[in-house]
Amino acid sequence: MNWFIYSLLATLVYAIAEIIVKYIADKKSEPIYLSIISASFSALMGLIITLTQRQIIFHFTPIIIAALILSAVLAAIGIITFYAAMKYSDISEFVLFTRTQVLFIFLGGIVFFQETFTFWQGIGIACIFLGAIVISLSKTKIRLHKGSILALITAVLFAASMLVDRSIISNFSASFYTSIIYFVIALVLIAPVVVVWKKRRKLPPTKTWIAQFFSSSLYAISTFFVYSSYNSGGYVSLTTLIAQLQIPIIVLYGLFVFKEKDRLPQKIVAMILMIVGAYILHT
């Protein structure tokens, strides 16, 4: 498969995972616990994927190890702020502020990896950007509060982590890197879990563990597809842009499952723009 197909698969799987997470990230949930459970299950799924591969590639040097640890620390903090942001934000605000990650990664790809684009790729990029903006617009006044600030921090942390990943992923097979990065993230999260455990010795309910198992497994699979896209020649900026197609997927889920028909024309226009943009990028 080429990088575009890997990116689409990553987007679809990630969208399903986000839908599941929204059911468990309520105001009573503890972000630290959700984070380490998610990272641990993702590491396990990454290991399972690795064991199914015919070829496992890895190459460690002191610089690569340092970069891997840096990426894991950034991602670990980002996972914590991710669950905290979902806990304190409306889904519309959460989506709007976390999507700023696209801008950070897009600029990072140009600055750090000298990624260039053709005229038609530029048109496709513009369509996806415009679609993301249109679908995020709301009559509701967007305010900076605890949830939105956490969502912005999450966007910056995830963007930085993904740029670091892109710089070293060529030294690993996608499945092995998926497993090892989530394993290191889980190790990084042990310290904050111990601190929280001393204050709140109450584990999440069984339904949360089950939901986390499925969502985290999907996150790992999505991550595997993202790294496969990188290793297949995909730009970090384009892969991230295509990931924005998860927005119309989630919107369609809300429309057909929860009958969320507010701003329907706006949502339809945004989805058309993003789908057209993805098609142009593919051709």
Give me the residue label for tokens 């990088």: 3
pLDDT grade for 283, boundaries at 50, 70 and 90:
low
Q: Work out the percent of the chain whose per-residue pLDDT is above 90.
A: 37
Cβ 3 vs Cβ 278: under 8 Å: no
User: What residue ranges in 101-254 does DSSP mark as E strands?
Assistant: none
Sign of CA dihedral 241, 226, 71, 168: negative
Span 40-70, pLDDT tens digits:
999 999 999 999 998 899 999 999 999 999 9
> What is residue 69's predicted lDDT score, i.e. its pLDDT?
96
Using CA atoms, how far residue 93 sits from 73, 138, 153, 264, 269, in Å, is 25, 9, 14, 17, 19
Cβ 150 vs Cβ 81: under 8 Å: yes
pLDDT grade for 30, boundaries at 50, 70 and 90:
confident
- What count of other Cβ atoms lies within 10 Å of the Cβ of residue 88? 19
User: What's the CA gap between 99 and 40, in Å, rounded?
Assistant: 25
- Identity of residue 224: F
Interval 14-38 mean pLDDT: 78
User: What's the CA gap between 127 and 125, in Å, rounded?
Assistant: 5
- Identity of residue 242: I
Report the run of H or E that residue 227 belongs to, with start and end: helix 206-231
Interval 166-182 mean pLDDT: 95
Cβ 130 vs Cβ 273: under 8 Å: yes
**CA torsion, ordered 269, 270, 275, 279, to nearest 10 deg:** 90
Q: What is the 3-state secondary structure (H, E, C) of 39-59?
A: HHHHHHHHHHHHHCCCCCCEC
Interval 187-207 mean pLDDT: 87
pTM reported for the whole predicted model: 0.81
Range of the domain at 98: 3-282
Cβ 98 vs Cβ 162: under 8 Å: no
> What is residue 229's predicted lDDT score, i.e. its pLDDT?
93
Residue-averaged pLDDT of the chain: 83
Cβ 240 vs Cβ 106: under 8 Å: yes
Domain count, the chain: 1
Span 209-234, pLDDT tens digits:
888 899 999 999 999 999 999 999 88
Give me the residue label for tokens 């468990």: 24
pLDDT at 248 over 80: no
- Within 8 A by CB and 6+ apart from 46, the residues are 175, 176, 178, 179, 180, 181, 182, 183, 220, 223, 224
Of 266, 183, 275, nearest in space to 220 by CA:
183
What's phi and psi for 139, nearest 5 deg?
A: -70, -20
